[in-house]
Amino acid sequence: MTDSEVQAESVPITIPRRLDPEDAQMALQRLQSILKRQEVVETLAQRQYEDDDKSNLLEGLLHRQHENEIKAIVNDLHPADIAFILESLPVQERQAVWQLVSAEHDADVLLEVDDWARESLIESMDHQDLIAATGTMDADEIADLAADLPADVIAEVQKGLTDAERAQLIEAMGYPEDTVGAIMDFEMVRVREDVSLEVVLRYLRRLHELPDHTDQIFVVDRDDKLQGSLPLTTLLVREPDVLVSDVMVTDYLTLNPLDSDADAAGAFERYDLVSAPVIDDQGRLIGRVTIAEVVDVIQEDSQEQALSRAGLQEEDIFAPVADALRNRAPWLLVNLCTASTAAFVASRFEDTVSHIVILAFLMSIVAGIAGNSGNQTMTMIIRALAVGRVTGSNSWQLVKREMTVTFLVGVCGSLVAACFAWAISGSVAIAAVMMAAMICNMLIGAALGVLIPMLRDRFGKDPAIGSSVLLTFATDSLGFFVFLGLATIFLV
């Protein structure tokens, strides 16, 4: 065996740890099992052995054993997986496990965890632990947590920042939520246009590491005004003696700190960006937005839209019942009122239904199909509004298109419904009324599916909040009215 072979064998081989969401799922199940065992031990100890010193000692040993097992599980995970586990536990268990997470993970976990879970974690931390965790964060990261942190912690952390970092923190905290300024970071590489690529390379080698998601270097003048960008790919493949000004890109996307973060996300999606510079009104480079923040924005917007359509806000799934009631009750009460209105409309046609009982079984089909059709239209419009494809000039065109599509779909569907109505009633007249009512109500659902979110957006409201409740109210009430009204005119 040669010396080189001996040396190769003596070098330990490091196998990189594979990140897998299933690992977090398995870790969660193991933690829940340990916590369950701990709960059983504590219950037995309280019931039988309160005055038994040996039993209390045994309980303490088991408790420490369980804590060590929990530490071994959670501290071997990625901070994002730790955040997932904490979000999946009830508040008391969440705080108990959080106390066992290594302090080196505190900052990353607080940044990864959702807002509703972060509040309970911060409540369980003492003053010094909070300062230690936030003291390792960048200015933009501290700004992200500022709303959840006590004021005295923010003040203490500011003392440990440099003047530049303190100015960045104050600037980041000054931008409204859901704007580019609230998600931008300040870590980026800048160079001048009058230096060579070799100088840039030497400068980069002096850095400890590049900021995350660095795909381009920003070219600025002496006043920090953005002149262009230098892609890293260009820096690596071009000759070292070439000047930055000769190879920099001058056709690039810029963002303003007051731009909507949703608009920024749309731009990243449209142009396949990894990062984008943020400039102020004077053209000075003040920050950048990266794909990491954009993915978070897209995910949050998607979750908010899904909840908003049911009239809900994001909540801790283990929150107290009173909090859940405040979140869910308002729109449920609205839904109760709308359902009562629909029932009242149907009750006005009591004589018609009593003469032709089969109408009571058929009218729910008319309302249900129109509601589903309207929801399809509404989903498409809300999505189009979110990505900025709906404007004042094309709104009427959208209404006409959806009405046309719905009419054609309604004709086909109503033929099937009419055949069904004829089969169970034996009446061609009832089948014809069924067909006409279904087409009319589907057109109503389509029109409202377009108009409700567009009108809410026009008045500065979230187009998704409660839209499905309002649509259901309209299609139920008007569906009953149209169907039973036509039946009263033509059948009675």
Domain annotation covers residue 155: yes
Q: Are residues 146 and 248 in the same domain?
A: no
Domain annotation covers residue 111: yes
The DSSP string of 183-241 is H-B----EE-TTSBHHHHHHHHHTSS-PPTT--EEEEE-TT-BEEEEEEHHHHHHS-TT
The DSSP string of 110-151 is HHHS-HHHHHHHHHTS-HHHHHHHHTTS-HHHHHHHTTTS-H
Residue 320 has pLDDT above 90, yes or no: no
362: Cα separation from own chain's centroid: 40
Residue 124: CA count within 13 A, CB half-sphere: 19
Domain boundary among 308, 340, 356: 308
Q: Are residues 53 and 170 in the same domain?
A: yes
Position with higher pLDDT, 240 vs 396: 240
Q: Are residues 97 and 163 in the same domain?
A: yes
Q: Letter for the amino acid at 118?
A: R
Q: Letter for the amino acid at 150?
A: P
Q: Are residues 81 and 34 in the same domain?
A: yes
Q: Are residues 90 and 194 in the same domain?
A: no
Q: Are residues 283 and 375 in the same domain?
A: no
Could you tell me the CATH number of the domain that includes residue 330? 1.10.357.20
Write down the pLDDT at residue 52. 56
Q: 399-409 pLDDT, tens per residue?
A: 888 889 999 99
The answer for residues whose C-beta is within 8 angstroms of residue 13's C-beta and 6 or more apart is none
Residue 304 has pLDDT above 90, yes or no: no
Q: Which long-range contacts (CB under 8 A, 24 or more apart) does 169-176 make?
A: 169/139, 169/142, 169/143, 171/286, 172/139, 172/140, 172/142, 172/143, 173/143, 173/146, 175/257, 175/258, 176/258
Q: Are residues 195 and 124 in the same domain?
A: no
Q: Are residues 160 and 275 in the same domain?
A: no
Q: Are residues 289 and 349 in the same domain?
A: no
Q: 208-258 pLDDT, tens per residue?
A: 889 999 999 999 999 999 999 999 999 999 999 999 999 999 999 999 999
Q: Are residues 129 and 85 in the same domain?
A: yes
Token couple for 352: 């018609």
**Percent of the chain scoring above 70 in pLDDT:** 87
Domain annotation covers residue 184: no
Mean predicted confidence (pLDDT) in 20-37: 82
Q: What is the pTM of this model?
A: 0.69
Q: Are residues 78 and 136 in the same domain?
A: yes
* Degrees, nearest 5: CA angle 445-447-450: 105
Could you tell me the CATH number of the domain that includes residue 289? 3.10.580.10
Domain annotation covers residue 13: no
Domain of residue 120, residue span: 19-176
Between 150-159, 398-407, 466-475, the lowest mean confidence (pLDDT) is in 466-475
Domain annotation covers residue 296: yes
Domain annotation covers residue 99: yes
Domain annotation covers residue 9: no
> How far is residue 386's CA from residue 388's CA, in Å, rounded to a whole number?
6
The DSSP string of 443-481 is HHHHHHHHHHHHHHHHTTS-TTTTHHHHHHHHHHHHHHH
Domain boundary among 271, 286, 308: 308
248: Cα separation from own chain's centroid: 36
Domain annotation covers residue 446: yes
Q: Are residues 198 and 334 in the same domain?
A: no
- Bridge partner residues of 179 (DSSP): 260
Domain boundary among 308, 343, 365: 308
Write down the pLDDT at residue 120. 85
Position with higher pLDDT, 26 vs 320: 26
Could you tell me the CATH number of the domain that includes residue 62? 1.25.60.10
> How far is residue 143's CA from residue 145's CA, in Å, rounded to a whole number?
5
Distance between start and end Cα atoms, the chain: 104
Domain count, the chain: 3
Position with higher pLDDT, 321 vs 299: 299
